Amino acid sequence: MDFLIGLPSGLEGLLGLLAALVASYLLLAWVTSVLWTFRDARARTPHVAAQAIGVALVALIPLLGITLYLILRPGETLQQAYDRDLEQQTLLAELQAVPACPGCQRAVRDEFTACPYCRTTLKEPCSSCGHQLAQAWRHCPYCATTRAPERAGARRAFGAARATRPLTDASEREQGEAGVPEAALRGSASREPPPQ
């Protein structure tokens, strides 16, 4: 501060005030960054040692420390990790959910071809390759055959179940007849394996 001695007292006081303002601004920024780092680290890791390292980094190396902390900190907060975990578990539970009969809503097993309670048709064999296909599927995933919506064999085999089939049946039939030529429908019906 030797160079300030020769200056007029008014200017000296002004510079002193300016220096104090800059110093208090830097101090405030430093304290704020340390507090922010403490809260951020606590939200991102449950380990006290890791939290302490993060805070020390920011406290001991002003300006550069916070950049390093932003690079090194865990990518997501504990809340975000928890939410993501919950979302995955919900998805998994939905995938593993017990299938229900569309006719009576009772739980049925995935391999059942008809409901054991109300005889609603749950699956029908593919007309081409014989794999069991869920009612909602429009195409066979094993041989890519487009399913004929109305088949005589299926009607005979599951005759009693027709009444309890879902209401979407009529719209499916219209869609199928519009999309598939009549000859193809007859052809796939003649190649149909015997009903099970």
Q: What is the C-alpha to C-alpha distance for residues 110 and 115, in angstroms, rounded to an integer?
A: 11
| DSSP classification of residue 97 | P
What is the closest distance, in whole angstroms, from the C-beta atom of residue 53 to Zn ion in the complex? 60
CB of 45 to Zn ion, least distance (A): 51
Nearer to Zn ion, 29 or 160 (CB): 160
Give the residues lining the site for Zn ion (CB under 5 A).
Answer: 101, 103-104, 115, 117-118, 120, 126, 128-129, 140, 142-143, 145
**For residues 75 and 194, which CB has a smaller minimum distance to Zn ion in the complex?**
194
Which is closer to Zn ion, CB of 25 or CB of 142?
142
Beta-bridge partners for 114: 121
Q: Smallest Cα–Cα separation from 158: which of 110, 109, 125?
A: 125
Q: Please state the closest distance from residue 175 (CB atom) to Zn ion, in A.
A: 19
Tokens of 42: 């606590």
Question: CA 109, CA 122: separation in Å to the nearest integer?
Answer: 10
CB of 152 to Zn ion, least distance (A): 18
Residue placing its CB nearer to Zn ion in the complex, 79 or 105: 105
Q: Distance (Å, rounded) from C-alpha 83 to C-alpha 44? A: 13
- CA-to-CA separations, 155 to 32, 119, 162, 163, in angstroms, rounded: 75, 13, 7, 11
CB nearer Zn ion, residue 39 or residue 106:
106
Taking each helix axis as running N to C, give the angle between helix 78-95 and helix 9-44, from 0 to 180 degrees, rounded to the nearest 10.
30
Residue 179 CB, shortest distance to Zn ion, in Å, is: 17
